[in-house]
């Protein structure tokens, strides 16, 4: 059973730590993934443009994982959080010649 409004840990990838005071994790109080991400960018506004487009959509190369699951395959940003949950922000890694 989800306990609304607990503290959630968000893992920040190395390139984005400069926007969150060099921390590797940030804790926010949130009931859903969306609230957690909103809480993160309101605490650290410089991070916003790196995660969201001008239209307010999560950038296509920004993957958001709840524990080991891609939130796109859960209930997207409406996915509810439990106390022990960890969110990871993982920019994609791809390329080739």
Partner 1 sequence: MLKIERTKYEALRRHGEETYPHECCGVLLGQMDGEMRTVSSVARCGNTRTDSPHNRYDIDPRELVRIQRLGRERGEDIVGFYHSHPDHPARWSPTDLAEAHWFGCSYVITSVEKGKAAVTNSFELTGSDEADKKLVDETIEVEHAET
Q: Which stretch binds partner 1 (CB under 8 A): 9-17, 33-41, 75-83?
A: 9-17
Contacts of residue 20, Cβ cutoff 8 Å, sequence gap at least 6: 12, 26, 40, 43, 44, 47
Could you give the count of Cα atoms lying within 13 Å of 92 in the half-sphere of its Cβ? 9
Question: Does 92 participate in binding partner 1 (rule CB under 8 A)?
Answer: yes
Q: How far apart are CA 67 and CA 43, in angstroms?
A: 22
CB-wise, 1 or 55, nearer to partner 1?
Answer: 55
| Shortest Å, Cβ 59 to partner 1 | 8
Provide, rounded to whole angstroms, the least separation between the CB of residue 82 and partner 1: 17
CB atoms within 10 A of CB 61: 10
> Mask: binding to partner 1, 54-83, rule CB under 8 A, as x and -?
-------x-x-x--x-x-------------
Integer Cα distance of 54 and 56 in angstroms:
5
The residues binding partner 1 (CB under 8 A) are: 11, 13-15, 18, 24, 49-50, 61, 63, 65, 68, 70, 88, 90-97
């Amino acid at each position: 059973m989800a306990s609304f409004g607990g503290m959630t840990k968000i893992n920040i990838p190395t390139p984005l730590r400069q926007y969150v005071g060099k921390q590797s994790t940030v804790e926010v109080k949130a009931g859903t993934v969306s609230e957690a991400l909103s809480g993160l960018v309101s605490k650290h506004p410089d991070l916003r443009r790196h995660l969201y487009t001008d239209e307010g959509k999560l950038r296509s190369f920004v993957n958001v994982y709840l524990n080991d699951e891609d939130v796109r395959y859960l209930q997207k940003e409406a996915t509810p959080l439990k106390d022990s949950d960890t969110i990871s922000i993982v920019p994609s890694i791809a390329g080739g010649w």
